[in-house]
């Protein structure tokens, strides 16, 4: 990807996020820490090989609305277009993540076995860790084989929150 990418800062119940969009959809959605924001913008520009401009687009407005609905327990499936950036294997891994239903968890082994040609658990875990689109590409739904919460770029406390939110909505307790 090269050229111009637009970004918007979003506030969520579990901290600020940055959303970036190209001409085909959302290419980045991640949590950040306020103190590291400028440094994070610089690293995103290098990763995307693009200039970031703080300006809203229809994709950014849509993702903001869908996230608001998600956190309110009103949305289980996201419809905003995605523009995934990564290797073929990473994209395959992220597409597999999107098949995990709302409120359901899978182990890394279960995720690995879902591939036509199973890869190593380490390769899958590594690709999950590089997922650039939090929540919508639900890597938070992947847990350890023993049920433990493992690895989440946004922090394990956020992963726990997201899983508990989905469990509450699925059981009809939130609404």
H-helix or E-strand spanning residue 167: helix 156-170
Instruction: Please enumerate in sequence order all residues whose Cβ is within 8 A of that of 149, keeping only pairs 6 or more positions apart, or say none.
Output: 143, 156, 159, 160, 163
Report residue 114 as tokens. 């879902």
Q: Which tokens hold the place of 143? A: 């847990």
Catalytic, 139? Answer yes
Is residue 78 within 8 A of residue 166, CB to CB? The reply is: no
**Pick the catalytic residue: 60, 127, 139, 143?**
139
Whole-angstrom distance, CA of residue 97 vs CA of residue 127: 11
b/e sequence 145-157, b meaning 16+ C-beta within 10 Å: eeeeeeebbbeee
Q: Give the phi and the psi of residue 75 in degrees, each rounded to 5.
A: -135, 130
Q: Which pair of structure tokens corresponds to residue 169? A: 């909505």
Residues marked active site are found at 139
């Amino acid at each position: 990807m090269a050229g111009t990418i637009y970004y918007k800062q979003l506030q969520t119940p579990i901290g600020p996020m940055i959303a970036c969009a190209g001409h085909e959809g959302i290419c980045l959605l991640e949590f950040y820490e306020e103190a590291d924001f400028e440094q994070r913008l610089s690293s995103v520009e290098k990763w995307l090989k693009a200039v970031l401009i703080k300006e809203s687009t229809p994709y950014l407005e849509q993702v903001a609305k869908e996230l608001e609905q998600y956190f309110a327990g009103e949305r289980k499936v996201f419809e905003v277009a995605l523009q995934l950036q990564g290797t073929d294997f990473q994209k395959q891994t992220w597409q597999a993540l999107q098949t995990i239903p709302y409120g359901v968890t899978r182990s890394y082994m279960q995720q690995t076995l879902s591939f036509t040609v199973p890869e190593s658990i380490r390769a899958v875990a590594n690709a999950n860790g590089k997922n650039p689109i939090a929540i919508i590409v639900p890597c938070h739904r992947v847990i350890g084989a023993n049920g433990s919460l493992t690895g989440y770029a946004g922090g394990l406390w956020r992963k726990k929150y997201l899983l508990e939110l989905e469990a509450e909505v699925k059981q009809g307790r939130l609404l």
